[in-house]
Amino acid sequence: MTLRHTVEVIPADQVGSVHFIGIGGAGMSGIAEFYHAVGVRVGGCDRSDSPTLRRLASEGIATAVGHDPGHLDGVETVVVSSAIRLDNPEIAAAHERGLRIWHRSAALAALMIDRCVVSVAGTHGKTTTSAMLSVMLAAAGVDPSFVIGSPLASTGHSSHRGEGRVFVVEADESDGSFLQYPTEIAVVTSVEPDHLDNWGTPQHYAAGFRDFATGPGVKSVVINADEPGARRLAEALQSREGVRVLTYGEAEDADLRLTDLDLEGTHGRATLRLGTDTWRLHLQVPGRYNLANAAAAFGVGRILDLDPEVLLASLASFTGTLRRFQLVGQVALATEPDRPVRIYDDYAHHPTELRAALGAALRARGTGRLVACFQPHLYSRTQEFSEEFGSALCLADVAVVTDIYGSREDPVPGVTGALVADAAERHAEPGTEVHYVPDKNDLPAALATLVRPGDLVMTLGAGDVTLVGPMLARLLADRSPA
């Protein structure tokens, strides 16, 4: 993957027939559905079958398993994500045929022409914040369009074509995609170094966010006052004329301030203060970080001058997105059926995200233990942050580490999940268990031998570790009462 350069785009209804390479991804599938909804002939392929491919097919979108240049027959525009390698046979064929080749960010930008674009960016929290914002605006009668990185738990969809003028997008910084969008309201949840395989240095990464927040069409910036990188950006933006900066967080000087936090269990509560106005915020999703995400979404709602009570009511009904502290199963074991094992899944793949997810899980675990099963994502990220990953995992009572999900990257000699497991061993307090299970296929059985009645198990990572929770639930069910 490399940094993207912005390109000129034309309206989506002028691009002709479109083929999506990697259409089964959460982000790509949402964009494909959007193009289909506006009447564009859409097709796509992915390397393996999935429920997403089957859902797209049921909606009338032509899908295929595997990559074949024949898929490009009759196609005018090819859309790719950064996860697709340049040696993909379909990309090579598209170049040979002189087809229009767009990165997914350009395909998205074509849908945003003449819209009020709210771009939600940040190292952490952008999926949930953009999801909260989309649900909130819909409840307020705005009927926004949105494309976010994970399906809403309530609907199973990650995109929607609304009739209103507002367009909400989860703006990915990893490859510079967020610079492509014609942003009017920019949200920055955090600026903590990541994706340095693309950006090179933390300074370049932070500069990318500065360019995002100072884009030519930006009129308002909603930004986290608690996270140091975002706060530095907010301070730099204060002197920019013609741009409203609204800070949020627990900091005393935050414009939209969170106080009186209640973080127990799997819910969250806090008081929101903006000027002389005060409201009580209630969430069904746990964690301090989700209260901050909700504050960011609420801040956008106030900039759009929407009814605060409607906004708060919709936030109270928000049930999350898939793979964000998602309950996978609950199994009562025969030995103590009144103390079931709860299994959650979370997308956390950065040390800060890992620490936040496990911190929320600690408050929700009750009298049992917290068992964390972590799959590192990307060789470059594991090499850069193995020590921090190991330290974060020690929040759990039992930490299980498997090998790396490489995604778009080739293996790096000497970089394996063992780096994280060894770091966890170094940071572990007496009584904390650390296990290294290199083969992810062995994880369900290994976890089944480790868990006890009342435990909270959480699988974590951006790869295919998400498959482990359901498999574990089935294994444990064999030990449950009839």
The CA R_g of the chain, rounded to the nearest whole Å, is 22
Which of 33, 126, 173, 416 is flagged as catalytic? Answer: 126
CA 478-479-482 angle, to 5 degrees, is 80
Alpha helices in 177-336 (DSSP H): 196-199, 202-213, 228-237, 288-303, 308-317
Q: Which residues neighbour 166 within 8 Å (Cβ) at sequence distance 6 or greater? A: 115, 116, 118, 137, 142, 144, 145, 304
Cα–Cα distances (Å) from 1 to 4, 38, 83, 84, in that order, read 9, 30, 7, 8
Please indicate whether residue 252 is annotated as part of the active site.
no
Is 122 annotated to bind a ligand? Reply is: yes
Is 125 annotated to bind a ligand? Reply is: yes
Is 123 annotated to bind a ligand? Reply is: yes
Q: Coil, helix or strand for 475?
A: helix
Which of 33, 63, 90, 170 is flagged as catalytic? Answer: 170
What residues pair up with 277 in beta bridges, in sequence order?
274
Cα–Cα distances (Å) from 312 to 75, 93, 137, 281, in that order, read 45, 50, 11, 6
Alpha helices in 89-220 (DSSP H): 89-97, 104-111, 126-139, 196-199, 202-213
Which of 127, 189, 416, 459 is flagged as catalytic? Answer: 127
**Nearest residue to 56 via CA among 18, 105, 100:** 18
d(CA 220, CA 224): 13
- The DSSP result for 73-85, as a single string, is TT-SEEEE-TTS-
Q: Coil, helix or strand for 97?
A: helix
Is 440 annotated to bind a ligand? Reply is: no
**Nearest residue to 273 via CA among 301, 299, 310, 307:** 299
Strand 42-46 and strand 18-21: pairing? parallel
Tokens linked to 462: 């951006």
Please indicate whether residue 440 is annotated as part of the active site.
no
Region of 410 please: left (phi>0), alpha (psi -120 to 50) or beta.
beta
Tell me the binding residues: 122-128
Q: Which residues are catalytic?
A: 126-127, 170
Question: Annotated binding residues for ATP, as ranges?
Answer: 122-128
